[in-house]
Amino acid sequence: MMIRAVILCLFSLLFTQCACAASFDCDKASTKVEKMICENKGLSKSDEMLGSLYSKLRSKVSNPAWTRKHQKEWITHFRDRCKDALCLKSAYHNRIESLSSDLKALELEKDSDANVCSKLVGFINRGTLEELSVSSMEIPSLEILRTKFGYWDGVPSRYWKLDFNGDGSSEHLLMTDNEPYPTGGYLMSESRPDKGTERNLANLDDSFGDVIAIGEKHLIYSYPPKFWKVNDKGKLQVACKINYLESEIQIIDGNGTPVCTDFKKAMVESSPGMFVMSDDAKTIFRELSFDFEHKINGLPEEELDSLDGLAHVDVDNDGRLDNVIRVESQYKGRFPCSAKMLVVTNNDATSIADTKTNKILMEKLSGYCKPSIEARIYKGVTYVHALESGADALYKIGGGKVDQVCKFQVKRKYKVTP
């Protein structure tokens, strides 16, 4: 009887859900992905390892809010898109590798400039540089700023008081917004107030942004990519020059979907970080031909301008051809912008139709200062391509609603210039 009880106990253990030590409470697992992780010993261990790395990284970076944001994006766009354990295994492997690289780069505090530059390029290429940014401090009153910095151009936007060069005294760094020029600023060392201020930080070819902390070093990041240090004389000096290497398009939503995979293959780099559709691929992703005439003399809003003729296309995939024109919205305020939109007309092409499809096209997918859109026909289905810089997306309209089918991001890679 005792032996039988032991055998039954062992048998039940074999077929009981794995009580695995994931980073979250498996008793509260609610999604299919969470349940897959909890039921798989290997995935559960990977999740626990990732949770430990994530906690360590958040304790070491200057801006843990960015670490949390990147982790949530990974969960949404990569982990939770998986349909099976093999996909989850790959997603965890890549994420653990990325966090391990970031953590390793932060563990050695005293490094040469060359090593620091190499590590910073790694953060840029992994898309995690923001996690090293140092939050700006409260901007002092104008009276204090004038006392410290004298006259300056532009509007004070951010301020730091830090020991940039490790000499035991602080430097004051004031960033200013100068229109129409890039962000400039001023630097003053408390140990050398008699030397005056260094104005504009550098020439106007550089747009200065964040202060970056890595180990014991504080550097100033500018674009085009450079990192600046404060030397022992209290002056700015280039610590790292970064050169563009290459770019690739990554699918962040819709991975494995044929239209997304084919669209990625269709895009070619036309200039650094910019992609266009290859001529050969335009036979697969057919563009609209605006070969017909419409009878619209004026558009309802003065900021809308018609660009060309009329196209016949089933833009909402209901089996009937729609009359579609292409218009440009222009905003001429303080920060001018424009966007190219698609609009459906009525049957005789004399006015813009009041339809759900137009609300989707003009309000959800495009509009003032939103991404431009165009339509492409792939295997008989019409997709709307939103051309947002660095994050294009494909949408499908149908049944009075719109679904995002694919989302892409451009991953730029850089290298340190010797």
Which pLDDT value is given to residue 263? Answer: 95
Q: What is the pLDDT of residues 82-125, one digit of tens each?
A: 888 988 999 999 999 999 999 888 876 566 777 888 899 999 99
Which residues 6+ apart lie within 8 Å of 40 measured at CB?
18, 20, 85, 88
List, run by run, the mean pLDDT of 10-residue segments along the chain (418 residues).
41 42 78 91 93 92 91 90 89 93 78 83 90 91 76 76 87 74 70 56 61 88 84 83 90 89 93 88 92 78 68 96 88 72 90 90 80 92 85 91 92 86
Which residues 6+ apart lie within 8 Å of 156 measured at CB?
139, 142, 145, 174, 175, 176
Contact 361, 373 (CB under 8 A): yes
> Distance between CA 316 and CA 373 in Å, rounded?
14
| Of 309, 402, 306, nearest in space to 357 by CA | 402
> Distance between CA 322 and CA 416 in Å, rounded?
52
Contact 344, 360 (CB under 8 A): no
- Give the β-pairing of 184-189 and 226-230: unpaired
Q: Which helix (H) or strand (E) holds 120?
A: helix 113-126
Tokens found for residue 297: 């003399």
How many C-beta neighbours within 10 Å does residue 197 have? 19
> Distance between CA 230 and CA 172 in Å, rounded?
11
Please count the CA atoms within 13 angstroms of the CA of 293 that sit on its side-chain side. 2
Which pLDDT value is given to residue 114? Answer: 79
SS3 141: coil
SS3 134: coil
> Distance between CA 243 and CA 225 in Å, rounded?
7
Using the 8-state DSSP alphabet, how is residue 279 labeled? T
349 φψ region: left (φ > 0), alpha (ψ -120 to 50), beta (else): left
Q: Which helix (H) or strand (E) holds 328?
A: strand 322-331
* Cis peptide bond N-terminal to 224, omega within 30: yes
SS3 408: strand
DSSP 148-201: HH-S-SSEEEEEEEE-SSSSSS-EEEEEEE-SSSPPEEEEEETT-GGG--EETS
Which pLDDT value is given to residue 9? Answer: 39
How many C-beta neighbours within 10 Å does residue 166 have? 12
Which pLDDT value is given to residue 217? Answer: 86
Contact 266, 277 (CB under 8 A): yes
CA 186 vs CA 135, 145, 160, 265: distances in Å = 17, 10, 11, 46
SS3 325: strand
Which pLDDT value is given to residue 281? Answer: 93
Which residues 6+ apart lie within 8 Å of 360 measured at CB?
397, 401, 402
Which pLDDT value is given to residue 109? Answer: 56
How many C-beta neighbours within 10 Å does residue 141 have? 9
> Distance between CA 359 and CA 399 in Å, rounded?
13
pTM of the model: 0.72
> Distance between CA 357 and CA 53 in Å, rounded?
46
